[in-house]
Amino acid sequence: MTPILIFDLDGTLIDSAPDLHAAASRMLAAEGLPELPPETIRSFIGNGIPVLVDRIIAATALNPDDRDRLVAGFLADYQAHATDLTVPYPNVRDSLSTLKQSGHRLAVCTNKPEAPAQAILQDLGLAHFFDDLVGGDSLSSRKPDPEGLNVLRDRLGDGPVVYVGDSEVDAETARKAGVPFALFTEGYRKRQVSELPHTVSFQDFRDLPDLLESLLAAPV
């Protein structure tokens, strides 16, 4: 059976916080408000752009009644600038290449809307590594609901599944789906590594292929 490796996107494969902060700053400036610190926006990432905007509204003088307009404006602006500052984490490309050449099937499960997620992977030269993608608007649910992982598992075959992510949301998604979780420790998590349920952890993508090989070879 072919192993299936499903990856989160923001904070796992790519460092998108600079572009999300820039989009948030442009939105706030258009509303006559000062920007929030980068670390604040970084702490808001993980549940999709609508929730990100909700958190910005709660942290500023933005009017909650304008929420739908602000979300739509943020999405349009962000999609136009989604790879101005965003980059893959170090060694991501080489790691994905190694995993693909080893015969693994690769997919992405993200709370970012599907169209910008696909566009970012294309712009950064990563799209060809992946067999499938589920975005935050692809289904009626989003992570930590496990539906996205389950849909990808059904589409990609009956091989063993490992989910690779960086956050509390990802850890909970893997737990609910009943799959091993590989935690990338350099992403957007809000708690200590020891406080997040995980099967294995890593801080450098160079280590991921060997780590996954050992994990998949271990007795269930």
CA distance 116 to 198: 28
CA distance 141 to 91: 31
CA distance 90 to 84: 17
8 part of the active site: yes
CA distance 173 to 142: 9
Residue 48: what residue type?
A: G
The CB-based long-range contact list for 69-72 (8 Å cut-off, 24+ gap) reads 70/27, 70/31
**Catalytic one of 8, 10, 15, 170:** 8
Q: How many CA atoms lie within 13 A of 72 on its CB side?
A: 4
Catalytic residues: 8
